[in-house]
Chains A and B, each alone.
Chain A
Amino acid sequence: MTSGLDARIGEALARLPDYLGGHVRVSMTALALGIALSVPLALVSLRRPAFRAIVLALSSVVQTIPGLALLALFYPLLLGLAALSMRAFGVSFSALGFLPAVLALALYSLLPVLRNAVTGLTGIDPAIREAALGVGMTRRQALWMVELPLALPVIMAGIRTAAVWVIGTATLSTPIGQASLGNYIFAGLQTQNWVLVLFGCVAAALLALAVDQLLALIESGLGARRRGRVIAGILGIGLIVVGALAPGWSQPKARYLVGAKTFTEQYIIAALIAQRLQAAGLSAARREGLGSSVILDALAANDLDVYVDYTGTIWANDLHRNDTKPRAEVTAEVARWLKERRGITLLGGLGFENAYALAMPRKRAEALGVRTIGDLARVAPRLAIAGDYEFFSRPEWAAIRAAYRLTFRTQRTMQPEFMYPAAASGDVDVVAGYTSEGRIAQYDLVVLDDTKHVIPPYDAVILLAPRDANDRALIDALRPLVGAIDVELMRAASLRATSAAGDRSPDAVARWMWDQIERKSGTR
Chain B
Amino acid sequence: MPENVSTMPAPAVISFERVSKHYDGVRTLDGVTLAVAEREFLAIVGASGAGKTTLLRLINRLTDPSEGVVRVEGEDVRTLDPIVLRRRIGYVFQNIGLFPHMTVAENIAITPRLLGWDAASRAARVDELIDLVRLDRARHRDRLPHQLSGGERQRVGVARALAARPRIVLMDEPFGALDPITRDALGRDVRGLHDALGLTTVMITHDALEAVLLADRIVVMRDGRAIADGTPHALLAADTDPYVRELMQTPRRQAERLHELIAGPRP
Question: Which A residues fall within an 8 A CB radius of B?
Answer: 127-128, 130-138, 141, 145-146, 149-150, 225
Contact = CB atoms under 8 A, between A and B. Distances in A.
Contacts, number: 53
Given A133-B62, A134-B60, A138-B83, A128 B114 contact: no
Contacts of A136: 83-84, 86-87, 111, 114-115
A135 B160 contact: yes
Contacts of B259: none
Contacts of B84: 136
Given A136-B87, A138-B83, A146-B99, A130 B93 contact: yes
Contact of A141 (B91, B98, B114): B114
Nearest to B110: A135
A128 B97 contact: yes
Nearest to B113: A145
Contacts of A138: 83
Contacts of B74: none
Interface in B56-92: 60, 62, 83-84, 86-87, 91
A143 to B, nearest CB: 13
Band of interface residues on B: 20 to 34
B87 A131 contact: no
A371 B182 CA distance: 101
Contact of B97 (A127, A137, A225): A127
Nearest to A138: B83
B95 interface: yes
Nearest to B103: A225
Contacts of B60: 134
Contacts of A132: 99
A137 B114 contact: yes
B93 A131 contact: yes
B103 to A, nearest CB: 9
A130 B93 CA distance: 9
With most chain B CB atoms within 10 A of its CB, the pick from A128, A134, A145 is A134
Contacts of B97: 127-128, 130-131, 134
Nearest to B157: A131
B101 A135 contact: no
Nearest to A129: B97
B61 to A, nearest CB: 10
B100 interface: yes
A286 B131 CA distance: 72
With most chain A CB atoms within 10 A of its CB, the pick from B60, B93, B97 is B97
Contacts of A131: 91, 93, 97-99
Nearest to A150: B101
Contacts of A150: 99-101
B93 A127 contact: yes
A367 B98 CA distance: 87
B219 to A, nearest CB: 21
B86 A133 contact: yes
Interface string B104-123: 00000011001100000000
Given A127-B95, A146-B99, A135 B111 contact: yes
Given A128-B99, A149-B101, A134 B93 contact: yes
Nearest to A131: B97
Nearest to B93: A131
Nearest to A139: B83
Nearest to A136: B87
Contact of B86 (A135, A149, A225): A135
Given A127-B94, A127-B97, A150-B99, 14 more contacts: A127-B95, A130-B62, A131-B91, A131-B97, A131-B98, A134-B60, A135-B91, A135-B110, A135-B160, A136-B111, A136-B115, A146-B99, A146-B101, A225-B144
A150 B93 CA distance: 19
Contacts of B94: 127
A127 B101 CA distance: 14
A225 B146 CA distance: 14
Contacts of B144: 225
Contacts of B114: 135-137, 141
Contacts of B93: 127, 130-131, 134
